[in-house]
Structure 1
Amino acid sequence: MPTSEFLLLASAHFLALASPGPDFLLLVRNSLRHGRRNGIGASLGIALANGLYITLALAGFSLLQQSPALLMTMKWAASIYLAWLGWLFMQASLKPPVLADGPAVLRRHAGFAAGMGAGFLSAILNPKNGIFYFGLFTLMVGVQTGAELKLLYGLWMFAAVFMWDAALVCAISQRRAMAWLAGSLPMIERGAGLLLMVAAAGLALARV
């Protein structure tokens, strides 16, 4: 295995992964509001969406770049989704901060499947994810690298996304962390909602 190539690829991917974005805000809010099970589901949904983009990148073409109409549709869909998500966050901030150890009815209505769906939508509706992975493989993986090795790179990145996000969820959902954040949850949701709305406006106005 060309170690230097893998380290370069993994480092660039980790820097992007560690940068806060809509997925990060979703994980933090869902973990606090709906608990660990929902947060782990969201982590898997985000990883699956990233895995789909990785698969497209490994196939050697960019579906998004080949179809301007699809890219524009995804851009507007993502803008609307982010704005809607921001509105939900703002609305939730007006409610009492019921956390993971609160009423069981809350956990039933926002369990693993709901989290996975929200995470998948958050990641798949971001066209920049597809462009990022396509650029990553184009710029950092040599033409001499075999298909098997590229597949290993892809599997590593899929696993890294899930493990990083799941670790974040597990850290946030610890009782001490949740107790410390309980009083700040409405402020966190208002701030996250505002950031998501700003991101929605920025994406709608941006050229992609």
Structure 2
Amino acid sequence: MFSSEFLLLASAHLLALASPGPDFLLLVRGALRHGRGYGLAASAGIAAANGLYIALAIAGFSLLQHSPALLVAMQWLASLYLAWLGWMFMRASLEPAPWPGSAGRQAAAAWRGVGAGFLSALLNPKNGLFYFGLFTLMVEAHTGLPRKLFYGVWMFGAVLAWDAGLVCLMAQPRVAALLDRALPMVERVAGLLLMVAAAALAVTRSA
């Protein structure tokens, strides 16, 4: 039987996963532009960064909570990274979209996908604060380490499964054929949203 604590924790985590953010935009664009292999690699990178934050939360401390200077630095890095990623998306939208099933989808190396996904999730300070908040507010102080580890493994698996499932959906021939026609627009919109998010984060830090 799942405890009410686990159900509450898992529900909050799944709701957060369903909320589109930079990781979502990166996966959709990556799957459409470079194919399923690249998208799955990016999913692994995102899950790895989330796993790092989950491990820190389980350990009972948050580097971001206890180091304001580190939090500010990460927010500035995140702003610069999102702006750069948005610019790359905008520039890529000027390139022709690959034909469905073409080799052009596989041009990007898998390690690039892992790196892009890892940086996207790692440089988002909200991820660290979110996991620390989950374990602080929803997990009882007397909950043992084995149960906490189970929670962590569950959330890591949920992130990986959700993102990989999204990539596999994007890679379905019918879905890919439909979205390929809209790829330049998808990249322009995604790039614009990322640059707006970068500007908003920078303005928040400057205020």
Shorter chain as denominator, the TM-score bin is over 0.9
How far apart are the structure 2 equivalents of 1:142 and 1:100? 50
**Which residue of 2 is the match for residue 154 of structure 1?**
152
For residues 114-144 of structure 1, give each alpha carbon's deviation from its aligned partner in whole angstroms, at most 9, with x where no partner exists: 1111000000000110000000100000011
- Could you tell me which amino acid in structure 2 is paired with residue 13 of structure 1? H
Distance 1:152 1:10, change over 3 A: same
Work out whether residues 90 and 190 of structure 1, in 8 Å CA contact, stay in contact via their aligned partners in 2. yes
CA contact (8 A) 2:8 2:138 kept: yes
Residue in 2 that maps onto 1:41: 41
- CA distance in 2 between counterparts of 1:26 and 1:58 reads 27
Kindly report structure 1 stretches of 4+ aligned residues shifted beyond 3 Å: none
Cα offset, 1:101, TM superposition:
2.1
1:183 corresponding residue in structure 2:
181
Once residues 149 and 176 of structure 1 are traced to their aligned partners in structure 2, the CA distance between those partners, rounded to angstroms, is 42
Q: Separation in 2 of the partners of 1:201 and 1:99?
A: 34
* Structure 1: gaps spanning 5 or more residues: none
Cα shift at 1:2: 5.7
Q: Give the C-alpha shift of residue 7 in structure 1.
A: 0.4
TM-score when scaled to structure 2? 0.96
Cα distance, 1:172 vs. partner? Answer: 0.4
In 1, the alpha carbon distance for the partners of 2:139 and 2:79 equals: 31
* 1:57-206 aligned within 5 A: 57-98=57-98, 101-104=101-104, 107-108=106-107, 110-206=108-204
Q: Which amino acid counterpart does residue 150 of structure 1 have in structure 2?
A: K
1:99: Cα distance to partner?
5.0
Paired with 2:179 and 2:2, the residues of 1 have a C-alpha distance of: 44
Give yes or no for contact 2:100–2:177 (8 Å, CA) kept in 1: no
RMSD: 1.5
Give yes or no for contact 1:34–1:111 (8 Å, CA) kept in 2: no
Gapped runs of 5+ residues in structure 2? none
Instruction: Give distance in 1, aligned partners of 2:21 and 2:186.
Output: 14
Shift of 1:103: 3.2
Tell me, what secondary structure is at the counterpart of 1:60?
Answer: coil
- 1:100–1:70 CA distance, 2 compared to 1 (3 A): farther
CA–CA distance in structure 2, aligned partners of residues 27 and 75 of structure 1: 21
How many residue pairs get matched?
206
Instruction: Kindly provide the CA deviation profile for residues 152-207 of structure 1, in whole angstroms up to 9, marking residues without a partner as x.
Output: 00000000000000000000001111100111000000000000001101111225
Tell me by how many angstroms 1:111 deviates.
2.7
* 1:42-82 superposed Cα distances (whole Å, 9 cap, x missing partner): 00000000000001111111101111111111000000000
Equivalence for 2:4: 4
Alpha carbons of 1:185 and 1:17: their partners in 2 closer, same or farther (altered >3 Å)?
Answer: same
Distance 1:90 1:67 in 2: 34
What is the TM-score of this pair, normalised by structure 1? 0.95
1:16 aligns with 2:16: yes
